[in-house]
Amino acid sequence: MSKSLEGKTALVTGASSGIGRAIARKLSKMGCKLVLAARERKTLELVAHELESESICVPTDLANRAQVEALVKEAVKKFGSLDILIENAGIYTSDAFSDMTPEAMQKMIDVNLTSIMVLSHAVLPYMKQQQSGEIMVIGSIAGVADMRDEAVYSATKHAANAFVRSLRRQVAPDGIRVGSILPGTVATELWGDIDPARIDQQVAEGEVLRPEDIAEIAAFMLQQPANVTIRELVVLPQAQDI
């Protein structure tokens, strides 16, 4: 029997667009209260206006540890609990490794990996106290496949996936579930996909997934009964050759 998410508080990073926005919409329809996090307040507020449930917008630079910790405190202060953490935010560049600066490499590590650890660490005291919680990382197929043109990106996603696998075992006795979704190509702004007609064509040809596809999978994982943990799901467009 699937469990209800009605009344749960969910924090979603990268909520201003793409997968994060789609997950926020889906969880709102299921009765969750939403804490929306991204860098720009204006874009977050546009998402908040679309939601069917109560929400707050908390502009956050995930590379800034103090802001990450403040984000969690604001969520608990507003809603009194934090039941679901969706760690979706990430950055990507198509630059060759030889063309990347050390600063750009560190920024990608900070956002794609370190922020996941810091944010997970910040929510655990609250989830342990209530003996329940969900931590879900939206990773990438680059976390289980060595993508030729994505050396640093793949490294961060592999490391994040290893973190999820280990953390799951550590916090299982506390009633906390940890899992990840590892998608192939998703039509989002991250990859420059903004033309609806082109996206429809790519979907029809099995070349890309929609953000809403990932949102449906996230909801499925979160609704599993307490005795079930889906550690990770690899999700690919039908025609993606990986």
Degrees, nearest 5: CA angle 190-93-193:
25
Query: Of the listed 153, 187, 210, 214, which one is catalytic?
Result: 153
Domain assignment of residue 214, yes or no: yes
pTM above 0.75, yes or no: yes
pLDDT in tens, 3-57: 899 999 999 999 999 999 999 999 999 999 999 999 999 999 999 999 999 999 9
CATH number at residue 166: 3.40.50.720
pLDDT in tens, 130-172: 999 999 999 999 898 877 778 999 999 999 999 999 999 999 9
Q: Domains in the chain: how many in total? A: 1
Q: What residue numbers bound the domain in which 224 lies?
A: 9-235
Separation CA 170–CA 166 (nearest Å): 7
Residues 6+ apart with CB under 8 A from 137: 87, 116, 160, 161, 164, 178, 179, 180, 181
The answer to whether 153 is a known catalytic residue is yes
Residue 60 gets the label, from left (phi > 0), alpha (psi -120 to 50) or beta, of: beta
Kindly report the length of the chain. 242
Domain assignment of residue 4, yes or no: no
